[in-house]
């Protein structure tokens, strides 16, 4: 909004002191980071006090973990802090006419609503139990039904996939190696280091693939020649799967103070690097990755995301004063997935989202092995002392703060490796 306002003033010939800052993306990114931090700090404290007054406290399962009973009654729904700290700077500082910005705003609001409903239903179940004088035990069936969450993620996947496939403002540039005819307006010429390069715009389902020379993979290659006209359907299905997987991965990771928020902030920084490299023709040429125009504005959203997560850690770091709940974890996972898909780096998700992946695998392996051994031996056996993986380390006696810090370090290593893959062939 402020960006559009100052652009209007500029076109009208009206100048204000400091208005030039809004002409540069780097300035707006820095302002977005600072503003999101301020919003998190100011609004966060007020929200925590409000939630405490309304007795919107977390119910803790008796899992036999150290310090878990001290968490009982800690306010939840803190994800509202993150959502507000992302949306306000984005709405004020970004160009809202850009398709990528609109997609990310929709992603944030949509999954925020899904997560909020889930948290609200859980709190309502707790209050009903208290009114009836029944001891309340937190359960998986208190909130939204699992299929409803998946439905929300599917809808988001359809929106993101179709926009990237059919919107004219989400095209990528591919290097043109054919014969350039004079007057051909479909060929885009750019000069890099004195050498002419030719490109064509394309709405194709292509992505970056690590460890191969060309660094590009077209999803149409997965289908026979006769069915390649339906590649967009395959692409949307892939997008739905990625958004569902990463969103649920972030939700599972949100189990101890500061873990999901810190990991998400670090991954956001990684996606910011990818967006900058892919949105800069010179860097894209150097790294031999596809150039994606119009990604510049996305860095403002990413800056707000990083600031929101870091600001939230002020209250969520051990010992937590507030939990993000599904309102925050589902939203953060969906945002990370959507950003990775937009910058065409979704096949690198298993690397830079390695912590999310390991957490999901630990639950999957634990449940599968327990069911298998119970059927075979009549008694369920476990691989881990408890899943997800962070609870396994808690059972081993590690302090929450140490587990979180080491998971952050692992995430940084995963990100470094993901970036290095762009040059490993």
pLDDT band, very low/low/confident/very high, at 196 (cuts 50, 70, 90): confident
**Which has the minimum average pLDDT: 32-46, 84-98, 182-196, 333-347?**
182-196
pLDDT at 191 over 90: no
Phi-psi region of 95 (alpha: psi -120 to 50; beta: other; left: phi over 0): beta
Over residues 325-332, mean pLDDT:
94
**Residues 58, 63, 68, 72, Cα dihedral to 10°:** 30
Share of the chain above pLDDT 90, in %: 48
| Burial classification of residue 120, based on how many CB atoms lie within 10 Å of its CB (0-12 exposed, 13-18 middle, 19 or more buried) | middle
What is the per-residue pLDDT across 290-308, written as a single tens digit (0 to 9) for each?
Answer: 888 888 889 999 999 999 9
CA–CA separation, 294 vs 279, rounded Å?
7
**Which has the minimum average pLDDT: 19-23, 128-132, 194-198?**
19-23
pLDDT at 169 over 70: yes
pLDDT at 62 over 60: no
Is the model more confident about 210 or about 103? 103
Is the model more confident about 266 or about 422? 266
The whole-number pLDDT of residue 302 equals 96
Is the model more confident about 345 or about 176? 345
For the chain, the farthest-separated pair of C-alpha atoms sits apart, in whole angstroms, at 82
pLDDT band, very low/low/confident/very high, at 367 (cuts 50, 70, 90): very high
pLDDT at 35 over 90: yes
pLDDT band, very low/low/confident/very high, at 422 (cuts 50, 70, 90): confident
What is the per-residue pLDDT across 371-382, written as a single tens digit (0 to 9) for each?
Answer: 999 998 888 899
What DSSP letter does each residue of 384-416 carry, written as one string? Answer: SSSSSHHHHHHHTT--HHHHHHHHHHHHHHHHH
CA–CA separation, 311 vs 295, rounded Å?
25
**Which has the minimum average pLDDT: 12-16, 157-161, 312-316, 346-350?**
12-16
CA–CA separation, 11 vs 6, rounded Å?
9
The whole-number pLDDT of residue 156 equals 97
CA–CA separation, 132 vs 278, rounded Å?
57
CA–CA separation, 85 vs 89, rounded Å?
7
Answer yes or no: are the C-beta atoms of 233 and 246 closer than 8 Å: no
Is the model more confident about 255 or about 271? 271
Single pTM value for the model? 0.91
The whole-number pLDDT of residue 326 equals 92
The whole-number pLDDT of residue 406 equals 96
> Which uninterrupted H or E stretch holds 154?
helix 146-166
């Amino acid at each position: 909004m402020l960006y559009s306002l100052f652009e209007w003033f500029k076109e009208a010939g009206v100048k204000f002191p400091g208005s030039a800052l809004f002409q540069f993306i780097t300035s707006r990114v820095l302002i977005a980071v600072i503003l999101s931090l301020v919003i998190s700090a100011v609004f966060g404290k007020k929200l925590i006090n409000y939630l405490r007054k309304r007795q919107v406290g977390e119910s803790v399962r008796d899992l036999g973990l150290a310090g878990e009973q001290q968490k009982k009654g800690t306010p939840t729904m803190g994800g509202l802090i993150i959502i507000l700290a992302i949306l306000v700077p984005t709405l004020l500082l970004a160009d809202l006419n850009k398709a990528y910005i609109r997609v990310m705003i929709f992603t944030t609001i949509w999954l925020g609503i899904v997560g909020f409903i889930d948290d609200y239903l859980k709190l309502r179940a707790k209050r009903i139990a208290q009114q009836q004088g029944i001891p309340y035990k937190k359960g998986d069936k208190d909130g939204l039904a699992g299929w409803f969450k998946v439905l929300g993620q599917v809808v988001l996947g359809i929106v993101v996939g179709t926009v990237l496939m059919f919107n004219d403002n989400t095209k990528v540039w591919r290097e043109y190696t054919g014969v350039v005819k004079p007057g051909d307006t479909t060929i885009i010429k750019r000069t890099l280091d004195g050498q002419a390069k030719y490109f064509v715009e394309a709405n194709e389902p292509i992505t970056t693939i690590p460890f191969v020379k060309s660094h590009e993979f077209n999803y149409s290659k997965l289908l026979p020649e006769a069915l390649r006209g339906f590649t967009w359907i395959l692409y949307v299905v892939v997008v739905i799967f990625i958004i569902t997987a990463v969103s649920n991965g972030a939700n599972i990771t949100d189990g101890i103070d500061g873990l999901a928020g810190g990991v998400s902030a670090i991954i956001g920084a990684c996606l910011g690097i990818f967006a900058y490299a892919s949105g800069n023709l010179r860097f894209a040429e150097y790294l031999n990755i596809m150039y994606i125009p119009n990604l510049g504005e996305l860095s403002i959203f990413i800056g707000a995301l990083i600031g929101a997560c870091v600001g939230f850690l002020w209250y969520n770091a051990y010992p937590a004063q507030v939990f993000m709940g599904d309102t925050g974890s589902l939203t953060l996972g969906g945002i990370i997935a959507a950003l990775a898909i937009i910058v065409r780096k979704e096949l690198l998700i298993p690397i830079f989202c390695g912590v999310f992946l390991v957490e999901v695998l630990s639950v999957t392996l634990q449940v599968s092995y327990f069911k298998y051994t119970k059927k075979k031996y009549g008694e369920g056996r476990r691989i881990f002392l408890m899943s997800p993986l962070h609870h396994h380390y808690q059972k081993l006696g590690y302090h929450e703060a140490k587990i979180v810090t080491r998971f952050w370090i692992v995430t940084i290593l995963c990100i470094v490796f993901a970036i290095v893959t762009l040059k490993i062939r």
